[in-house]
Structure 1
Amino acid sequence: MEPLSDKAQITLKKIEGLKNLISIPKIIFEVSQAIKAEPGNVKKLARMIEKDQGLTTKVLAVANSPLYGLQKKVSSLEFALMLMGTEETLRIVTAISLSESLKIKSTKNFEYMEYWKHSMLVGMAARDMSIRLGFSDLFGEAFLAGMLHDVSIQVFAQYLPKEFEEIIAASKNNKKFFDCEKEILGVSHDYIGKLLVQKWKLPEVISETIEFHHIPSQAPNGKELSALVHLADSMTQEFLIGNCFWDKTLSFDGNVVEILNFKSAEEMVHFVSEYQEIFKDTAESIVF
């Protein structure tokens, strides 16, 4: 990697000075410890999560979304956890809690609900595609990385609002948002996202996927996982469902065809088209 510019170093110093970004929500530790102590005690796990009504609502929203794919609608958290399993529950709680820990009020430049829909759609689509395309060993990581792929956008909107506004203004002149980030901050959101998840001590495969989710063919190790998130991310733009303005000018990495073992670009396009209706139904189901 090239040495960081002075501008990038200033940005990193600002972000590293925000101590609350590094702290991991207590509920993640509690759920993790409860699973280790009593792996099969779903009732106790449900009671623990239910203490946080917002978290409970979001876990149920994931479980009940058409794209997540449970066979029946669930209203009981305990039943949902039983169907999903404890390890999957921990991943969902981790993704939701980390994202929520950075939650900000919507502003003229950042609509939190739209961001949340985008994150959920990308996470669930990446998870579903991993299973359908023969990468089922990646389904848990695909969900977590998909949910958190744009987590640093929240950081820009909340803690660097002036620079974020400048990036938005610059990107309106037919310039890629990605390039405008580098021009104004010295770094882009994918790099900052990688640093955040490293601070949270998430697996290296998650941090790498977040860093390379726009250019999966350049990922040194987990190209398949990065490609799944990249394809899911691009689907929000293709369908104009759960799409966000910062992805509007991004290029698609054509190497995804080969990385995900499609026989041709046409086969991939057909595969993607099958998701349009379920994206629409899932987006409509995400209401809190």
Structure 2
Amino acid sequence: MAIEINNLSHIYNKETVMEKTAVHDITLTIQDGEKVGIIGHTGSGKSTLVQHLNGLLKPHSGSVTVNGIDTKSKEIKELRKIVGMVFQYPEHQLFEETVYKDIAFGLKKQYEFTQEEMDVRIRAAALAMSISDELMEKSPFELSGGQKRRVAIAGVLVTDPRILVLDEPTAGLDPRGRDELFQSLEEINRTKNTTIIIVSHSMEEVAGFANRILVMNKGTVAMDTTPDKAFEDVDLLESMGLSAPQVTYMARAISGVIKDFPTRIHTVEAMVKELMKVVKHP
């Protein structure tokens, strides 16, 4: 169920004095089960790019095809069953009396299931996001920020999308909430081979989660590579208004003091591992 993007361009306010090219001539393919992180400075085209994946935006030129469906076609309902989109602060859209009903809402609108079939899907989505049975009968407004975020994402997962797109999924969450969310996303990717695409300003989060990184700059894909290679070229990132994860800078500083200390470190876990080696073999 690959995503095929060919020569995609999108222009806001076309043929007006406010005309702005948001993305220009983008070509790439995303395969099943990939974990893709999209990073870039504000205004680089990240959100515009992902909003083409479920037909929220249409290409002005080029094409976007998902599982053989052209996003400019009339098969928009089918497309949105395949691509689940989670926007920033999705918990602001919670409104039902209970968590259970909120998760069920998207299912009722798009599908015709028996109550038993719906219940199975709702509880599976809740389990995937580590939402306990106890929480299911609570009002969503009684929950913590992290719990609300997981409920909102479960409301997208209940339709069983093959592709999940999240725009700044950890915005406003505390460290515990961020960790729990990424643990759930890792499990979904591992057990269901769901393609997960994350737009983020956090280099640390992208480095720890993604196995592929797209670096956006001025509406184009400036880099399409692995986290190791993306964060290795710190000077290039900084020229685009970005930075490497903080632990990468720390590793560079340590390498100036400790001979042969690796500089390709982009996660806290990797840093701890290397420091433990130093402690054991000073």
TM-score of the pair, normalised by structure 1: 0.30
TM-score of the pair, normalised by structure 2: 0.30
Which structure dedicates a bigger proportion of its chain to strand?
A: 2
Larger RCO (alpha carbons 8 Å, 6+ apart): 2
In our comparison, the structure showing a higher alpha carbon Rg is 2
